[in-house]
Amino acid sequence: MTVTAQGGRIVVTVNGHQSAEIGSDPGRREGRFALQVHGSEDCDLWFKDLEIREE
């Protein structure tokens, strides 16, 4: 999964296929971000090869 955020444009790609795109998200432009699971269920969650780039 790749999430690209440039200004208000956010694109999510899964296994090389675009799965979501938001053209003008009014969300925050700076500050903290979180990686999380929704659903209030207990589960193991692993992240591998996490990369954060600023361009």
pTM score of the predicted model: 0.66
**Total residues belonging to the chain:** 55
pLDDT for residue 37:
63
Q: Which H or E run includes 21?
A: strand 17-22
Share of the chain above pLDDT 90, in %: 25
pLDDT tens, 26-43?
887 788 877 776 677 777
